[in-house]
Structure 1
């Protein structure tokens, strides 16, 4: 006899991404001296947020016709995730760039170009999606939803 499938078995990639985020958060909580945040860290976090942004966009679109209330809540989560990714993008640009003589700063070796362009291109693409489906008033509205139960 086999056990019933777990609910998260239907989405193995999402489960793996969640495990990666949890692992990283636990690593930051260790008693070792905290490593200062850098642009690479924020770039990876922004990539994760924009991937979740795309996922929520798709989920909201598929949930809305049969379940309008759930679709509205997913659309609100989509907007809030955009706000989080915008804040991470802004923080990225406030951090100092790597030193020019640093071994890690070799944009000519990266096929996608300098990292600053990569995060900005990703952010512009996500911004295009959010502006197509959301009004400026919705983007600036504070989070006020309550539990529907």
Structure 2
């Protein structure tokens, strides 16, 4: 009998999510049918959600790995910080994209209640601020230097 970590059906949802990201990446590649479509706010919102969920997964993996394997736990914690930095940059890019439904002065402001899609249960700004609180509790200020959770755009 094989162990679950070597089985072909171990972690099926994580593999499915990875396959979805690979498919999307290939779909965005330039093709003969024309130039790729530029990124929009909805695209970055979905990407930010994905990064945030992977960030949470890394946090849990680091917590469970650290006691029996400290060096591996530290590496996972480092990946956790880097992924937060990536999510932070995606959030910043979201606010830099044009918004056709709002005047230019309001488009860059971080106002979750005024997003063009309406105030969903969890907007990109709310999600980013919530994950930022978790990061600040578990990460040193030096690790987070230049990466804030405030929406000052």
| Range of TM-score over shorter length | 0.7 to 0.9
Match of 1:139 in 2: 144
Instruction: Count how many residue pairs are aligned between Structure 1 and Structure 2.
Output: 130
Match of 1:125 in 2: 130
RMSD (Å), alpha carbons: 2.3
Match of 1:61 in 2: 63
CA contact under 8 A between 1:28 and 1:34: conserved in structure 2? yes
Deviation at 1:125, TM superposition (A): 1.1
Match of 2:11 in 1: 11
Deviation at 1:96, TM superposition (A): 1.3
- CA distance 1:78–1:92, change in 2 (3 Å): same
Deviation at 1:4, TM superposition (A): 7.8
- CA distance 1:95–1:67, change in 2 (3 Å): same
Match of 1:86 in 2: 88
Which 4+ runs in 1 deviate beyond 2 A?
A: 2-9
CA contact under 8 A between 1:79 and 1:139: conserved in structure 2? yes
Deviation at 1:99, TM superposition (A): 2.4
- CA distance 1:106–1:60, change in 2 (3 Å): closer
Distance in 1 (CA, whole Å) between partners of 2:137 and 2:7 is 32
TM-score by length of 2: 0.77
Distance in 2 (CA, whole Å) between partners of 1:137 and 1:91 is 23
- CA distance 1:111–1:92, change in 2 (3 Å): closer
Match of 1:23 in 2: 23
Unaligned runs of 5+ in 1: 142-149
Q: Deviations over 1:16-66 (max 9, x none)?
A: 100000000000114131101100000000000000000000000000000
Higher helix share: 1
Distance in 2 (CA, whole Å) between partners of 1:59 and 1:3 is 22
Q: What is the correspondence of 1:104-119 to structure 2 with a 5 Å cutoff? A: 105=116, 107=118, 111-112=120-121, 118-119=123-124
